[in-house]
Amino acid sequence: MWKKTQETVKFLKEKGFVDIDYAIILGTGLGNFTDVMDIHIRIPYKEIPNFPVSTVVGHHGELVYGSIGDKKIMAMRGRFHYYEGWSIQEATFPVRVMKYLDIDTLIVSNASGGVNSAFKTGDIMLITDHINMMPEHPLRGANDERFGPRFVDMHEAYDKQMIAHMNTIADELGVGLQQGIYLALQGPTFETPAEYGMVRRLGADAVGMSTVPEVIVAKHMGMKCFGVSVITDLGVEGQVEEVSHEEVQKVAKIAERTVGKLVKRFIETY
């Protein structure tokens, strides 16, 4: 893993991925965040040594380097999910690479199902914490101390200062936000009504199939993390409705412009 990481880092540095302030992983329907960036370099995942190639419709599969104001950004258009068949270490490999590109802050976005009865479809939720219910843990196995410690503190997985700053920006822009806990299941099935009920009773506000492994790996390496989730469907007890990937993408697409505006301003001002 270490050797592969160094190989990929060397390749990307030679391509010009240097001096990066923020890494951002763009999930379902949010891939066009790059529209608000000045793009300098784009490389398809398949041309990057050791990178997996994403197989999900709506995930673009390219790495973008660009800027917003005077901040440099590396954006992943499309992520790797455990349900695609990658091991959890493969799925989180790009996060390993980020750290050795000297990036110390990770912004993640995703789509999720809301289980909090105060939520509406299309709401934007800042992730305040997570519950890891994935069947594999990305840090299982011998620990490589060059990446980080064996036992990782997770008391503030999602940076409180960044959350506070985003709330200020949302106020300024007149955008209403939700906040809550994201629970990760492996998917690829959406949840049954009984499972949504379980998610709620476990203490979460939203459920999805990604993000948590990425944040765990980022925290292992001492990175700061910030996460935003678009509530694309509701799994509220007693009123669970049919959900499809198309519907998830449609709702995420509508929220995309608002999320883009928020994150752009966030990066300009943080």
The correct pick among 20, 26, 75, 209 for binding ligand HPA (CB under 6 A) is 209
Number of amino acids touching ligand HPA (CB under 6 A): 13
| C-alpha span between 23 and 113 (Å, rounded) | 25
Closest approach of Cβ 243 to ligand HPA, in Å? 6
DSSP string of 210-251? SSHHHHHHHHHTT-EEEEEEEEEEE--TT------HHHHHHH
**Pairing relationship of beta strands 38-44 and 71-77 according to DSSP bridges:** unpaired
Check residue 207 for interaction with ligand HPA (CB under 6 A). Answer: yes
Asked whether position 198 contacts ligand HPA by CB under 6 A, the answer is: no
Of 162 and 206, which CB lies nearer to ligand HPA in the complex structure? 206
Minimum distance from residue 128 beta carbon to ligand HPA (Å)? 18
Does 213 bind ligand HPA (CB under 6 A)? Our answer is no
Instruction: Tell me which residues in 231-250 interact with ligand HPA (CB under 6 A).
Output: 232-233, 235, 243, 248
Report in angstroms how near the CB of residue 231 gets to ligand HPA at its nearest: 8
Whichever of 33 and 190 has its CB closer to ligand HPA, that residue is: 190
Long-range contacts of 6-13 (CB under 8 A, 24+ apart): 6/100, 7/49, 7/50, 8/48, 8/49, 8/50, 8/51, 8/93, 8/97, 9/97, 9/100, 9/101, 11/48, 11/49, 12/43, 12/48, 12/63, 12/97, 12/101, 13/101
Shortest distance in whole angstroms from residue 245 CB to ligand HPA: 8
Contact region with ligand HPA (CB under 6 A), list: 35-43, 110-118, 126-134, 156-164: 110-118
Shortest distance in whole angstroms from residue 179 CB to ligand HPA: 18
> Quick one: 30 or 221, whose CB is closer to ligand HPA?
30
Cross-strand partners of 67: 38, 72
Distance CA(110)–CA(130), nearest Å, equals 13
Q: Annotate 187-216 with b (16+ C-beta within 10 A) or e (fewer).
A: beebbeeebbbbbbeeebbbbbbbbbbbbb
Window of 82-90, 109-117, 125-133, 257-265 that interacts with ligand HPA by CB under 6 A: 109-117
| Site residues, ligand HPA (CB under 6 A) | 111-113, 190-191, 207-209, 232-233, 235, 243, 248
